[in-house]
Amino acid sequence: MPLTWDDPRLTTPDDHLVTALASGGHIRLAACRSRTVVREAQRLHSLSPLSTLALGRLLTGGLLFASSFKHEDDNLTLRLDCSGPLRSMTVIAEGDGSCRGEIAAPQLPSLVDAKGRLAVRAAVEGGRLTVIRDLGLRDPYVGTVPLVSGEIAQDLISYLYYSEQRPGVMFLSVDLDGDRVRDAAGLLLEALPGADDALLAHIEERAAGFPEISYWLREGFTPAQLMDLLMGDPEIRLLELREVAYRCRCSRDRMRRNLAALGLDDREELAADPKGIDLVCHFCNHSYHFTQEEMGGLLP
Question: Which residues are near Zn ion by CB under 5 A?
Answer: 248, 250, 281, 283-284, 286
Within 10 angstroms of residue 66's Cβ, the number of other Cβ atoms is 26
DSSP string, 215-273: HHHHTT--HHHHHHHHH--TT-EEEEEEE-EE-----HHHHHHHHHTS-HHHHHHHHT-
Instruction: Select 219 or 278, whichever has its Cβ closest to Zn ion.
Output: 278
CB of 108 to Zn ion, least distance (A): 22
Instruction: Select 166 or 286, whichever has its Cβ closest to Zn ion.
Output: 286
CB of 223 to Zn ion, least distance (A): 27
CB of 258 to Zn ion, least distance (A): 12
Instruction: Select 65 or 283, whichever has its Cβ closest to Zn ion.
Output: 283
Instruction: Enumerate residues 6+ apart whose C-beta is below 8 A from 144.
Output: 128, 129, 130, 131, 163
CB of 102 to Zn ion, least distance (A): 10
Instruction: Select 283 or 290, whichever has its Cβ closest to Zn ion.
Output: 283
Instruction: Enumerate residues 6+ apart whose C-beta is below 8 A from 184.
Output: 33, 34, 35, 37, 38, 56, 60, 173, 174, 175
Identify whether the C-beta of residue 97 lies closer than 8 Å to the C-beta of residue 223: no
Instruction: Select 244 or 284, whichever has its Cβ closest to Zn ion.
Output: 284
Instruction: Select 78 or 281, whichever has its Cβ closest to Zn ion.
Output: 281
CB-hemisphere CA count at 13 Å for 282?
A: 10
- Residue 70 CA to residue 203 CA, distance in Å, equals 26
CB of 285 to Zn ion, least distance (A): 7
Identify whether the C-beta of residue 236 lies closer than 8 Å to the C-beta of residue 223: no
Instruction: Select 238 or 281, whichever has its Cβ closest to Zn ion.
Output: 281
Instruction: Select 106 or 296, whichever has its Cβ closest to Zn ion.
Output: 106
CB of 119 to Zn ion, least distance (A): 30
239-242: Cβ within 8 A, 24+ apart: 239/2, 239/3, 239/18, 239/19, 239/20, 239/21, 240/3, 240/18, 240/19, 241/3, 241/7, 241/9, 241/10, 241/16, 241/17, 241/18, 242/16, 242/17, 242/96, 242/97
CB of 243 to Zn ion, least distance (A): 19
CB of 254 to Zn ion, least distance (A): 9
- Residue 137 CA to residue 116 CA, distance in Å, equals 46
